[in-house]
Amino acid sequence: MIDSIELTNWKTHRHTVMNFQSGVNVLIGVMGAGKSSVMDAVSFGLFGTFPALSHRRTTIENIISSRPSREDSSEVRLQFGADGDTYTITRCISRGGGTTARLEKNGSYLQAQPERVNEEIEHLLKVDYDTFSRVIYSEQNRLAYFLELAKGERKKQIDHMLGLDSFAKAEENSVSLINSMRSLILDEEKMLAGIDVNELKKQLAGLATQK
């Protein structure tokens, strides 16, 4: 469970600390207050990216607060519990300077290589970014989109979302593989049926005497 998140210079959040409770947590605020930005920060904290960023609808630098003053860097600190331990991830973005990551376990340093931090999180949460962004994190308006789909199309989209379509594809492929093996076997059988064993034996005997 995510215990808390701390945002510094993250869009509208100059400095925001949120402590979450178990159960449902609701963010209330006027349009543009920065609610969706908190969801993006949760995703970014955990996996180093979020849907608008991974789909290139925004850039990492757009996140750093530019109003009321232009800041040089922003930071997300996220604390969560897993298997009885407390983990803290800190990710920093700086203008032109890329991002850094740091993972701590029960207050002790664990990892600071962004790729390795991501791997560690995937391992701890038993979910990768792909699944997280498809199944757990739902962007605004995506739910309504699902409800408005026709039944068959909805199933297709949900299969795709859960990555189940790859199994359907594998099933399709294995059926066509079985069919082509069957037709190969039939061809072989036909060829074998056409062979006259006695005739072959005679030919062999003939060859043996010639020798």
**Binding region for ligand ADP (CB under 6 A):** 11-12, 29, 31-37, 62, 64-67
Say whether 181 sits in a helix, a strand or coil.
Answer: helix
Least distance (Å) between residue 139 CB and Mg ion: 9
Nearest residue to 146 (alpha-carbon basis) of 132, 162, 131: 162
Taking alpha carbons only, the member of 101, 92, 49, 91 closest to residue 72 is: 92
What is the helix (H) or strand (E) element at residue 160, kind and residue range?
A: helix 151-161
- State the nearest-atom distance from the C-beta of 35 to Mg ion, in Å: 5
In the numeric block, the tokens 């955990």 are attached to 46
Q: How far is the CB of 27 from Mg ion (least distance, A)?
A: 9
Among 12, 36, 94, 138, binds Mg ion (CB under 5 A): 36
Of 74 and 118, CB closest to ligand ADP: 74
Considering CB distances under 5 to 8 angstroms, the limit depending on partner class, which of ligand ADP, Mg ion, none binds residue 111? none
Q: Which is nearer to Mg ion, 122 or 139 (CB)?
A: 139
Per-residue CA distances from 175 to 156, 163, 171, 199 (Å): 20, 20, 6, 39
73 forms part of the interface with Mg ion (CB under 5 A): no
Positions touching Mg ion (CB under 5 A) are: 35-36
